[in-house]
Chains A and B, each alone.
Chain A
């Protein structure tokens, strides 16, 4: 063999080095929160630091063992975000309890959820040895997604928080099944589209250089759209509605390679958005708050407070523990990006957005290099939905677009979000391991050797 073909490298050493850096960022952030608030390093730094080190090492070892060729950058990026998020949630616990000592602390439970998330991540890597196996469960995931979406609407389990009916009570726990539904939907769409893509890609009419699909092929996209509108109507959850629809349209586009779907999707989105604006007060309120928050400072207090925090942080930020992010309602969940911007400044927030951008970039790269259509679609869908989610939530908090309720991946307080995002990273690493793994050696050569002619004397 003379071809200098690409030599697969595992790069696990690089991943280890980056993971050490990422863990250091998390622990240093935690320590500096203590320095900023009390002037001392928190006594339990070793606890959080130890936990972070343990889970980081475990996750790294799991990857080393069961996905040795997986992308080496994703895991450290995610650990860095998760560590920063933990430090910020701890910082906001302190700040919020200064205002009112009765307020709940979230840092510990978030640490537990992080551990569960990493367990889910490891579990996926261990249990799903080949992502193509998921394709056989296409419709199972489809049904699961629908079930998860309906769950909050059921009378006994469902709970309405802040006007959105997206929560499920399960004994003492409550969680948002929407996050899990997103992953199930991505798997379902990928499996479904791999099979149907040829049918959907049939030429339709060509208008202004764009191939528009045939009317009879509009069925699936209309179904996706109806699901989204259903979420908007019944759960009053603007963000998830947009996220699911965007995910579906983009996967359809990737599967069929026909930009016409984007046009149809955009038109349907426009219609849905207009319908939402016309029909729902809460959509109108969000939209008006986006256009001119200062027209009603009382009602738009949250977004105004978030903007004040960002502006107050300025370029370099106030430093962890030294701003006042706790003044913003939900500074620890929906508005954690604004809290980061206030204390870490424009510089820190840009770094965080770049980390998100790198995660998306690695995800899309995995999709590009993946050899099978299902893996390609799934990786593209997961990466894009991640990008869209980051855009919608950070864009909403920073008043680039109207505010909608989505979680900030890996940073916002909230168990379901942390766990499911770790699961997504698990899936991506699994696909990338498959992708970067050297192609199985063609065994004919070896068998030739084994069956070489033995001269008989």
Chain B
């Protein structure tokens, strides 16, 4: 009977080997993904009880953990309240971490692989593990200026501001209004957290979303920059003095519909210069240009500026779109698309990228918001490297478009962005959505022209302003200017 017993022994060996391999798989290979699963209370409890790293802006914490006396040992605090909420998100026990609290969780909680040595040292010395810190690219003064600018338009204002460093892609300001107070979601009083969250999520103004990256809306005339870029890049127009078709209405053969200008004017003649067309934001001229460029090339230009891809890592973001599908646009639809209507929908971040790309000689830099990641002992773990997303246009064409945007500030629709002694380029936009709601006021700009330091996109979705007074230049322009001033002063 010994042979079968030996075989049984081998079978038992196989069973135990399977057990050992399997627990190695569960506890080692699969462990990270299990730990990241939703609703894993062990991980939540542990991270909640940890000395979580701070999120810093210019050396000052905008999210930090302070000792608390309850069972979780630490309380997450957001000293600036809602100002940085779209960036930091909130570290909520019940609803989980959001925004950077979520995407930088591994560093902040100290479980990042690069902090492994720290963890081992903590383990050996029996210290509580600490998290690393994350320094943002935000300019605190610009951030404040952007938020105050939106608030000045009234407490019901909905809008967003994004400022970028055109040469690096660093996000200098990112504001969304209305916002929420992350302290109320990170509280350890869980019934209060639930109440706050319910209030926020039921609010029809959606304070929990980051309007600057998540919400896409028709960009209106600011999209004419993309159309202009496409016209230059594809040789439809060569110089800013070239005369192009304008006039009171753009008609289409065999179709009843015709495209008018914004205030019923004729843009100053049937044929005006390319520069003039942008200065006065001539719908007829850009509608016609869009038709000449064609859908394919125009879409291609939009893609080069970043349309169709999630623009930023670490924050919830939506891709901007040129059309809703792949369908072929009819001529009037293409013309409307060329002036930022029909199905074009962009985020403020995307429009800031367009302005930044034009300012930066046609090179669109990939936006980023995390500048430096440090270990608890302040060793630099990661330093952001500027990265080129694409070359949207040649530098000579970019220079032409810049010149046109500068003259739009000096003698066009964007005079509200003027800053004494600085060449500022800008473009306004006022996008119609449906007749029953106010139009969206847009403003994109950059400064200074020769060595761009800042590019801004401002969206005012709705405000307390009367409907017939809404225009990108008047509402959004001053906000863009004050943000640019703050950046330039530093």
Q: Which residues of A contact B (CB under 8 A)?
A: 250, 253-255, 257, 294, 297, 307-316, 323-324, 327, 341-342, 345-346, 349-350, 353-354, 356-357, 360-361, 364, 367-368, 373, 376-377, 380, 383-384, 387-388, 390-391, 394-395, 398-400
**Closest B residue, CB atoms, query A357:** B16
Most buried by A among B4, B18, B40, B43: B4
Determine, out of B28-36, B51-59, B251-259, B448-456, the stretch whose residues face the partner at the interface. Answer: B28-36
State whether the Cβ of B156 lies closer than 8 Å to any Cβ in chain A.
no
- In the complex, whether B8 has a CB less than 8 A from a CB of chain A is yes
Given A254-B1, A373-B1, A310 and B16 touching (CB < 8 A)? Answer: no
Known A312-B31, A346-B24, A380-B1; 15 more pairs at CB < 8 Å: A294-B37, A310-B23, A323-B42, A324-B41, A346-B23, A346-B27, A349-B23, A350-B23, A356-B16, A368-B2, A384-B12, A391-B15, A395-B19, A398-B26, A400-B18
In the assembly, what is the distance between CA of A383 and CA of B23, in Å?
23
Contact between B28 and A315, CB atoms less than 8 A apart: yes
Chain B positions within 8 Å of A315 at CB level: 27-28
- A327 and B42 contacting across the interface, CB-CB below 8 Å: yes
Q: List 7 A-B contacts (CB under 8 A).
A: A257-B4, A307-B34, A312-B31, A312-B35, A341-B27, A350-B20, A387-B15
* A294–B46 CA distance with the chains assembled, in angstroms: 22
The reply on B152 being an interface residue by CB < 8 A is: no
Contacts of B27 in A (CB 8 A): 310-311, 313-315, 341, 345-346, 349
With a CB–CB cut-off of 8 A, which chain A residues contact B3? 257
Residues in chain A near residue B43, CB distance under 8 A = 308, 312
> Chain B's nearest CB lies how many Å from the CB of A438?
21
| CA A324 to CA B397, docked complex, whole Å | 63
A307 contacts across to B, CB distance below 8 A:
26, 34
Closest residue of chain B to A308 (Cβ to Cβ) is B40
B69 on interface, CB distance cutoff 8 Å: no
Contacts of B22 in A (CB 8 A): 395, 398-400
B6 at the A interface (CB under 8 A): yes
The docked-state distance in angstroms from the alpha carbon of A364 to that of B1 is: 12
Q: How far is the CA of A418 from the CA of B1 in the complex (A)?
A: 30
Q: Is the CB of B8 within 8 A of A341?
A: no
- B60 to chain A: which residues have CB within 8 Å? none
| Alpha-carbon distance A25/B13, docked complex (angstroms) | 26
Query: Contacts A307-B34, A324-B42 given: A353-B12 contact, CB under 8 Å?
Result: no
The complex places the Cα of A364 from the Cα of B12 at a distance, in Å, of 10
Measured in the bound complex, the distance between the Cα atoms of B45 and A354 in whole Å is: 32
Q: How far is the CB of A319 from chain B (nearest CB, A)?
A: 9
Restricting to B150-181, which residues have a CB under 8 Å from any CB of A? none
Residues of A within 8 A of B123 (CB): 316
Quick check: is B5 within 8 A (CB to CB) of the other chain? yes
Q: Tell me if B39 is interfacial: C-beta within 8 Å of chain A.
A: yes
Count chain B residues whose beta carbon lies closer than 8 angstroms to a beta carbon of A: 35
Contact between A312 and B42 (Cβ–Cβ < 8 Å)? yes
Minimum CB–CB distance from B12 to chain A (whole Å) comes to: 4
Nearest 8 A-B pairs (CB), nearest first? A311-B34, A311-B31, A346-B27, A400-B22, A391-B15, A387-B12, A312-B42, A254-B4
B236 within 8 A of A: no
Which residues of A are found within 8 Å of B384, using beta-carbon distances?
A: none
**B residues less than 8 Å from A311 (CB atoms):** 26-27, 30-32, 34-35
B121 at interface, CB cutoff 8 A: no
Contacts of B9 in A (CB 8 A): 361, 364, 368
Nearest-neighbor residue (CB-CB) of B2 within chain A: A368
* A360 near B16: Cβ-Cβ < 8 Å: yes
Chain A residue contacts of B37, Cβ below 8 A: 294, 308
Min CB distance B325 to A, Å, is 33
Most chain A CB neighbours (cut-off 10 Å) among B19, B27, B42:
B27
Closest chain-A Cβ to B129's Cβ sits at a distance in Å of 12
B42–A394 CB distance below 8 A = no
Nearest residue (CB) in B for A358 is: B16
Collect the chain B residues with CB atoms within 8 Å of residue A312's CB.
31, 35, 40, 42-43, 46
What residues on A are CB-neighbors of B13 within 8 Å?
A: 357
Least distance between A327 CB and chain B CB atoms (Å): 6
Q: Distance (Å) between the CB of A260 and the closest chain B CB?
A: 12
User: Within 8 Å CB of B39, what residues of A?
Assistant: 297
Contacts of B2 in A (CB 8 A): 368
Tell me the smallest distance from the CB of A77 to a CB of chain B, in Å. Answer: 14
Interfacial chain A residues near B15, Cβ < 8 Å: 387-388, 391, 395
**Contact flag A391-B23 (CB < 8 Å), given A254-B4, A380-B8, A384-B8:** no
The answer on a CB contact under 8 Å between B4 and A391 is no
* A380 pairs with B5, CB closer than 8 A: yes
Contact A346:B16 (CB < 8 A) given known A254-B1, A307-B34, A327-B42: no
For the complex formed, measure the closest distance between the CB of A429 and the CB atoms of chain B, giving whole angstroms: 18
How far, in whole Å, are A247 and B31 apart by their CA atoms in the complex? 34
Q: Given known contacts A308-B37, A314-B31, A353-B16, is B5 in contact with A364 (CB within 8 Å)?
A: yes
